[in-house]
Chains A and B, each alone.
Chain A
Amino acid sequence: MNVFQENVSILRSQDPALASQVLNTPGGILSIHPAKSGQPTAVVKNRSIHSSYDPIREAEQWAAHHAKDCQAGEVLVVLGVGLWYHLEALLAKVSQDSLIMVVVPNLQEFVDGLAVRSLKGWGERVKWVWGDPEPMARQVAQQGRRVRLLTYEPALSLHSDAYDAFRLQLRQQLAKRASGTLHVMVVGPIYGGSLPIGGYVVRALESLGHRVSWVDHSLHERGYQHLNTIRDDRLRMTVQQRFSDTLGVISLAHVAEDPPDVVLAMSQAPLSMAVLEQMRRKKVLTAMWFVENFRHLTYWQQMIDGYDFWFVMQQAACVEAFKHAGASHVSYLPLAADPNIHQSVDLTEQERAELEADVSFLGAGYRNRREILSALLGHEWTFKLWGNEWDNCGTLAKVLQRNGARIDTPTSVKIFNGTTVNINLHSYTKEGFDPDGDSVNPRTFELASCGAFQVVDHRTLLPDLFDGTMMKIVRTPEEFVPAINTYLHEPEQRRAMAEASKQHVLKFHTYVHRMHTLLSAMGLASPDRIGAILQGERQAESLLARSGESPELIPLLNTFSKQDRVELVDMARAIRLKGPEAQLKREELLILMMDEYRQEKRDFL
């Protein structure tokens, strides 16, 4: 029996379907050569998958690096197959109690390995996961244990798209099973577009059952804006920077008072690098949802090391740029709508008189909008223009409502509802459509969530979020007028498309969905902390089930409800509630002692 046959025989005892599948799969992905050490090594398109000198030694180094974080009882999901040297080395270093699941996105690569390296003596301990991403992810999540992803980059890069799809599915599967609650501190900006999004995020997190602390810096907007009365530019900017720094320290004080599991900052949140560094020192995980165009606002470059996690609303180029700049975790997270806010509403007579129109646009007066929207004047329909920053807008001035005042969210919702055809034109500082326009603005989701019909300019990321059955998508500015003409006279089609877009938002694009995704991404990358909490490991029930090593804590844990999240602080509080006369056990004294040090605030600021 040759190595391949021997391996197939081992596989058959574990996974007969996989064994029969490999018999019908040709190899040929990996080009096999002997390494200097004599062991087989693999190359793909001139790129080495394992060391060409000593693949075993290289694998041992990889395993040593990854094994130090692994804990007994975990599911270790390895991404990257190659010739398995890293798997063998890992098995030698982790607890027998760990379950190692290896994701096999491509059986041809696997067959190449089966032909040259033996599974004998170790392969029995590995669970090979293969097939489509969704069932593979379900298989991992069903284990019901803490999941830790380990990546072997040289082999992973052969099938990075497949692994990305698997990761996405795994995030969703784990999110479905999440039962634990986090304490999330959301830090908002002083003002700006990300401020209302911060509010939606807070509501979404609360609706998911998490405890949320909202650090609302908009309370300080008036004071901050008043600094604009300082005429000297340099002086004003210095004072504004100091003001912003002080707000950062205020955020830090909130963290010190009630330490969260995660600090989620919205774009423009006044958190300086010094403040973020201090949070890191105190082991508070930080994330930034950067809801800006990364090409226009570039302050992220200076902040990139400050946050543990970045979430961006642009893909590919943006994600690459952030990674290139040094971001350790960066994920695509598009905007969304809050159906409790962005919803269908009935307008009063008075509101109808003011807010209704055949065609409306709501937004700030960017250059491309001034040019393109001018073409909507002089038609048979009524056209209303809402929003601020429309000074010197020429002929558009006659349709500008409320003298260009800023429109609040409740009024926006009424305008969306009261408009037959809503124009949604993404901003651009030059003429026409932004040729690099990729991200989708919040208005797209908000209009859809309101059940309002919209004509929107094309964005490269739009097809992943909505399709042409839900809104009219135009590819050139010239298409706006004919589109309006068409849909003004097609009420049924308009209503059907708007309803479809609304249902689509409710199903896929609310802030609740986004927060689910955000937290599960963090959980997957941080299995010991966020992942463990989300999977319910900090709930009394789970702690009791795992109290074998310290049974003395069982009576105390029994004082909590099964679903209660129990942390050191909760245990300490329960101990203190025993009253002044209580004779404390040794473990109770130790918990109180550590709680004293956990509360340490002296070195926070």
Chain B
Amino acid sequence: MPRSLLLQLARLGDLIQSLPAISSLHSSFPDQLFDLLCSAPLTSIGKLFPGIQGVYPWEGERWHDLAIMDGVDQGRFVIAAEQYLADCAFPRYSVAYNLNNHPRSVLASHLLSDRVVGAGDQGPLHLSLPPWVAYLRQIANDRGTNRIHLADAFCGVCEVNPPAVVPTIEATHVDLPTDLAHMVNDGSWERVGIVLGAGDGDRRVPIAVWRQFIEACIDQLPNCLCVLIGGLGEREAALALEDQLPPSYLSRLFNCVGRTSLPQLAHVFNRCQWVVGSDTGPLHVGVACGARAIGWYFSRARVHETGPYGVGHYVWQYRPGTDPGKLGGQDLNGLPQPPGSWPVRETLQLIQGQHESANASEWELWKSYRDECGMFYMNGEQPDSAVPQRKIIWEQLSAPSGNRDLNVGRHSHMAGRWS
């Protein structure tokens, strides 16, 4: 069976957003096997992806060590690098689907396969980008009125359509510590995963806000168990949060922060009904594991690009400047100003099934839908004019023969869907 490789060397959020592309590739090419190459710390979650045969770790640290070896000339560098690749035991791939327009990813694609689809498809030094990669770069730079979701754009990069069914991750065969196992197996609770934050500091929600939200959940949702989610970097914040809560609330709070591997985290999320948090990797893991999401999108996060993937998710998008008291400018680091208020009460109402169309001060509520062009979010009952534009963009970028400079693609596996 021919074997293909999908390369996603970016962070957890991007890896999860690649799941639809993997799913779509798998259904488009049922006679092929697909392997995944991802950042070494993420391989354990990659192994849970449906449709993936093997997961290979990309060890940036190892490459870095090779590159700064003492007293070694180029010949020995090459020998050492070849040895490293041989130790990894990569098969030879018929196609490499490269999702990152980064030199390392482009070079890795060409090292592992003679044919590359996606970034670097014309050669490792070629400057022109395939239409979908150029589009993603343009969105990253200009943003504009884009409504094509990143995960769907990844499908475009791989020359396939968005998947017919939203893929999910199941992590049922994962061992958990006793208390965690007890928590996830107790069927009497409605679990709300609360992602304290991960990655960049500008995406963190203040502890005082989370305290407010947890108190509201526990006060107003009789069967609610709040599950704190985060990595080791959030451990202190989680402990501080526990300290600040009245003792009577602690029996309805479960602190998983810094205690779980990625598969264990997925297992916990498999048992959560909701996940609430900012645009971070764990939020998207929660979504992929079947929880409904309510995202709080602020700083650089944009609902239309990286909103939770699937149907029925919500995103509160912060819109600086809607508050007449604030200018919506940037802080000293060039980042957007942090929100002055948070949609705590409104989020709780959504979990309770109320006020779907309400907007909070400075925050707009968006809800996710799907059609043949993939995901989109709407603020209100009717799609705005940007939503149907997606079809035109798909047609332009996926046209079978076109001029790259005009962002017109040539992807054969998509042809005819909307024609």
Contact = CB atoms under 8 A, between A and B. Distances in A.
A584 interface: yes
Interface string B59-71: 0100110111011
Given A553-B75, A568-B74, A590 B67 contact: no
B124 A592 contact: yes
Interface in B274-317: none
B173 interface: no
A282 B65 CA distance: 10
A176 interface: no
A557 B104 CA distance: 23
* Most chain A CB within a 10 A radius of its CB, from B73, B107, B108: B73
B60 to A, nearest CB: 7
Contact of B60 (A546, A553, A589, A597): A597
A583 interface: yes
A60 interface: no
A591 B122 CA distance: 19
A568 B126 CA distance: 21
Nearest to B63: A597
A592 B78 contact: no
A30 B296 CA distance: 81
Contact of A589 (B67, B74, B107): B107
B82 interface: yes
* Most chain B CB within a 10 A radius of its CB, from A543, A581, A594, A595: A594
B126 A580 contact: yes
Contact of A283 (B70, B75, B128): B70
B81 interface: yes
B75 A547 contact: yes
Contacts of B124: 584, 589, 592
Interface string A415-430: 0000000000000000
A591 B125 contact: no
Contacts of B392: none
A527 B123 CA distance: 39
Contacts of A590: 77-78, 81-82, 111
Q: Could you tell me the dominant secondary structure of chain B's interface residues?
A: helix
A232 to B, nearest CB: 26
A72 to B, nearest CB: 11
A568 to B, nearest CB: 6
A104 B134 CA distance: 69
B75 A528 contact: no
Interface in A563-586: 566-568, 571, 575-576, 578-584, 586
B76 interface: yes
A576 to B, nearest CB: 6
B337 to A, nearest CB: 25
Given A549-B79, A583-B123, A590-B111, A595 B74 contact: no
Contacts of B74: 543, 550, 553, 557, 566-568, 571, 591
A592 B126 contact: no
A550 B107 contact: no
B332 interface: no
A261 B268 CA distance: 50
A593 interface: yes
Nearest to A550: B75
A597 B64 CA distance: 5
B73 A587 contact: no
B70 A591 contact: no
Nearest to A538: B73
Interface string B120-133: 00111111100000
Contacts of B63: 593-594, 596-597
B2 interface: no
Given A283-B68, A596-B104, A553 B110 contact: no
B41 interface: no
A580 B77 contact: no
A100 interface: no
A528 B73 CA distance: 10
18 contacts: A532-B71, A538-B73, A549-B75, A549-B79, A550-B76, A568-B77, A580-B125, A584-B123, A586-B111, A590-B81, A590-B111, A592-B124, A593-B104, A596-B63, A596-B67, A596-B103, A596-B107, A598-B64
Interface of A: 71, 282-283, 527-529, 532, 537-538, 543, 546-547, 549-550, 552-553, 557, 566-568, 571, 575-576, 578-584, 586-587, 589-598, 600
Interface of B: 60, 63-64, 66-68, 70-71, 73-79, 81-82, 103-104, 107-108, 110-111, 122-128
